[in-house]
Amino acid sequence: MIALEQVSSLKEYLQTAQSVLVILSSKPTNDQLAVASALYLGLINLNKEVGFYAPKKIEGSFAGLQNIQTELGKQNLIVEFDYHEDAVDKVSYHIGEETNKFYLTIKPQKGKKPLDKNSVNFTYAGADADLVFLVGVHDLEDLGQLYFGYESLYENAFVVTLNSFQPELGTVQIDLSGTSSLSESLVGLLDSLEIPINEEMATDLLRGIETNTQNLQSFSANAETFEIVAKLLRSGGRRTKKIAKSINPRSQKINQVHKKNQSKTQDIVVKRQQKSRKSKH
């Protein structure tokens, strides 16, 4: 169940956060994919700087998955070159006022050759965020390359876990259990955080609910579930086209008996016709 004091704390922090990360577990369910995708899209609509990540590339029909990345560390530009202390006299920089460009100057020692421009490499490293959402994550080490080397990111950011229980990590642990699905619970959380639900988000969340309730045929789908479904449909959500047919075991047995009796009747009719033909001859 979602604790109100945790939602209040998250809402207050969300208002000031500028950079946000949404990170999935290594083996997410469709329900978790729906939650992460809808949350990612909702945060973008709040004009936040949002990154969407998972340890492995994920393909699917959820709207936000096309933007998912598997590598952190594209925040800082690194200039790399071979350095020999006795060959370098001074390193300095200045910014051209007219050109509006950054100039890095590496002055060699007297009698030494200048730096070979072909030996200079440019890479990106480092990651930073004000707020991190972990969807379905219960162990940071399971995130692999998204965690190792970036431990300080998780230590310094406001970390929120979204799961069906409360793992022992994060600043705030939001338990989305107690309903038919995590997707159903997220609708209430989005409302509390004042994050509007658009058509793409509604469609993703509908798909998450349908997947977790066997197309709303599970006993876990109650009156509240159908109210949430109606809300998502009014928000422009589209249901999946393929709906599994419910099979009633009793009806199936009756049909089998009916077919068996029908077959016996046909056999009797055929035998009578054959007997009638023989008597005529």
The total number of structural domains that make up the chain: 3
**Residues 6 or more apart in contact with residue 195 via CB below 8 angstroms:** 42, 43, 45, 46
Residues 273 and 258 in one domain: yes
What is the pLDDT confidence band of residue 257, given thresholds at 50, 70 and 90? low
**Residues 6 or more apart in contact with residue 170 via CB below 8 angstroms:** 134, 159, 160, 161
| Res. 250: pLDDT tops 70 | no
Residues 117 and 142 in one domain: no
Domain for residue 241, yes or no? no
Q: What does the pLDDT look like over 128-177, one tens digit per residue? A: 899 999 999 999 999 999 999 899 999 999 999 999 998 889 999 999 99
Boundary of a domain, candidates 86, 103, 125: 125
Instruction: Work out the mean pLDDT of the chain and round it to a whole number.
Output: 86
Q: What does the pLDDT look like over 52-61, one tens digit per residue? A: 999 999 988 9
Residues 167 and 216 in one domain: yes
Residues 110 and 199 in one domain: no
Once rounded to an integer, what is the mean pLDDT over residues 16-33? 96
Domain for residue 246, yes or no? no
Residue 258, domain extent = 253-281
Domain for residue 132, yes or no? yes
Domain for residue 242, yes or no? no
Joined together, the tokens standing for residue 133 give 């959402």
Residues 135 and 269 in one domain: no
Once rounded to an integer, what is the mean pLDDT over residues 248-254? 47
Residues 49 and 88 in one domain: no
Residues 108 and 182 in one domain: no
Residue type present at position 10: L
pLDDT for 253 equals 54
Q: What does the pLDDT look like over 209-247, one tens digit per residue? A: 999 999 999 999 999 999 999 999 999 999 986 544 433
Instruction: Report the distance separating Cα 22 and Cα 8, nearest Å.
Output: 19
Once rounded to an integer, what is the mean pLDDT over residues 189-210? 97
pTM as predicted: 0.71
**Burial (CB count <10 Å: 0-12, 13-18, 19+), residue 121:** exposed
Instruction: Report the distance separating Cα 128 and Cα 222, nearest Å.
Output: 41
